[in-house]
């Protein structure tokens, strides 16, 4: 709790303080409140917490074998709200594993959301991810021209 005094005011800090404030040990509660007061003195800006922001915060905390990360990404894409679409785009920019990136690209194509793929800046991707994206966009363009939609 004492180390939280130096942290930025964000969802993680809020959650840790939320665990410390009701702790049974008075020392922990006092340390949490001291950290909160220290943060308040720095006049942090408020932040918005929504179900989508919490989902994105924890999306990569699951094991690959669980299959839950692609499931959550598909949920965002299917939800389709402006916040969910923005979260999906942000997730694509911050994904580390190439296999997850490929799965996310496939989900976007299956859900008919290729416009999200077109918003991704290729120059900010690794070579492997840039190739995956380029191949996917090429396939989309080919399919569209084959069906007379271009």
pLDDT in tens, 100-150: 999 999 999 999 998 999 888 888 899 999 999 999 998 888 877 777 654
pLDDT at 38: 94
pLDDT at 139: 87
Distance of CA 24 to the CA centre of its chain: 33
Q: What is the mean pLDDT of the chain?
A: 91
Provide the residue count of the chain.
150
Q: Structural domain boundaries of the chain?
A: 2-41, 51-146
DSSP notation for 82-141: HHHHHHHHHHHHH---HHHHHHHHHHHHHTT-HHHHHTS-GGGS-HHHHHHHHHHHHHHH
Burial (Cβ within 10 Å: 0-12, 13-18, ≥19) of residue 41: exposed
- Give the tokens for residue 69: 């990360």
pLDDT at 44: 82
pLDDT at 119: 87
pLDDT at 34: 96
Share of residues in the chain with pLDDT > 70 (%): 98
- In the predicted model, is pLDDT for residue 85 greater than 60? yes
Q: What is the mean pLDDT of residues 24-30?
A: 96
pTM: 0.78
119: phi then psi, degrees, rounded to nearest 5: -85, -10
Q: What is the mean pLDDT of residues 89-109?
A: 93
pLDDT at 148: 66
pLDDT at 43: 82
């Amino acid at each position: 709790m004492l180390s939280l005094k130096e942290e930025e005011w964000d969802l993680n800090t809020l959650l840790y303080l939320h665990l410390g404030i009701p702790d049974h040990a008075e020392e922990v509660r006092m340390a949490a409140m001291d950290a909160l007061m220290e943060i308040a003195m720095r006049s942090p800006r408020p932040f918005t917490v929504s179900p989508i922001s919490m989902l994105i915060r924890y999306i990569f905390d699951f094991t690959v074998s669980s299959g839950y990360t692609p499931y959550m990404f598909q949920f965002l894409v299917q939800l389709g709200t402006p916040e969910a679409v923005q979260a999906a785009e942000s997730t694509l920019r911050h994904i580390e594993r190439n296999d997850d990136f490929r799965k996310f690209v496939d989900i976007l194509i299956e859900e008919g959301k290729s416009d999200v793929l077109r918003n991704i800046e290729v120059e900010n991707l690794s070579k492997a991810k840039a190739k995956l994206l380029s191949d996917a966009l090429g396939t989309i363009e080919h399919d569209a021209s084959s069906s007379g939609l271009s």
